[in-house]
Amino acid sequence: MNSTGDNIAGKVVVITGASSGLGEATARHLSAQGAAVVLGARRVERLKALAGELTERGGKALAAATDVTRVDQVKALVDSAVQAYGRIDVMINNAGLMPQSMLEGLKIDEWDRMIDVNIKGVLYGIAAALPYMKQQKSGHFINVSSVAGHKVRPGGTVYSATKHAVRVISEGLRQEIKPYNIRTTVISPGAVDTELPNTITDAVVAANIRAFYDDVAISSESFARAVAYAMSQPDDVDINEILYRPTRQEF
Ligand X SMILES: NC(=O)c1ccc[n+]([C@@H]2O[C@H](COP(=O)([O-])OP(=O)(O)OC[C@H]3O[C@@H](n4cnc5c(N)ncnc54)[C@H](OP(=O)(O)O)[C@@H]3O)[C@@H](O)[C@H]2O)c1
Regarding 196 and contact with ligand X (CB under 6 A), the answer is yes
Instruction: List all residues 6 or more positions away from 150 whose beta carbon is below 8 Å from its beta carbon.
Output: 164, 167, 188, 243
Q: Which of 14, 95, 158, 205 binds ligand X (CB under 6 A)?
A: 95
Active site residue 180: no
Q: Which of 20, 31, 33, 101 binds ligand X (CB under 6 A)?
A: 20
C-alpha to C-alpha distances, 240 to 25, 73, 109, 150, nearest whole angstrom: 21, 27, 32, 15
Three-state secondary structure along 171-220? HHHHHHCHHHCEEEEEEEECCECCCHHHHCCCHHHHHHHHHHHHHHCECC
The catalytic position among 85, 124, 132, 159 is 159
Closer to ligand X at the Cβ: 8 or 47? Answer: 47
Cα–Cα nearest to 90, from 108, 99, 78, 80:
78
Cβ at position 81, least distance to ligand X in Å: 16
Q: Which of 41, 51, 126, 186 binds ligand X (CB under 6 A)?
A: 41
Closer to ligand X at the Cβ: 7 or 19? Answer: 19
Instruction: List all residues 6 or more positions away from 109 whose beta carbon is below 8 Å from its beta carbon.
Output: none
Part of the chain binding ligand X (CB under 6 A), chosen from 40-48, 52-60, 130-138, 235-243? 40-48
Regarding 122 and contact with ligand X (CB under 6 A), the answer is no
Instruction: List all residues 6 or more positions away from 62 whose beta carbon is below 8 Å from its beta carbon.
Output: 36, 37, 38, 39, 51, 80, 81, 84
Closer to ligand X at the Cβ: 8 or 22? Answer: 22
Regarding 117 and contact with ligand X (CB under 6 A), the answer is yes
Cα–Cα nearest to 212, from 148, 141, 133:
148
Size of the site for ligand X (CB under 6 A): 29
Regarding 22 and contact with ligand X (CB under 6 A), the answer is yes
Binding region for ligand X (CB under 6 A) = 16-23, 41-43, 66-69, 94-98, 117, 144, 146, 189, 191-192, 194-196
Catalytic residue numbers read 159
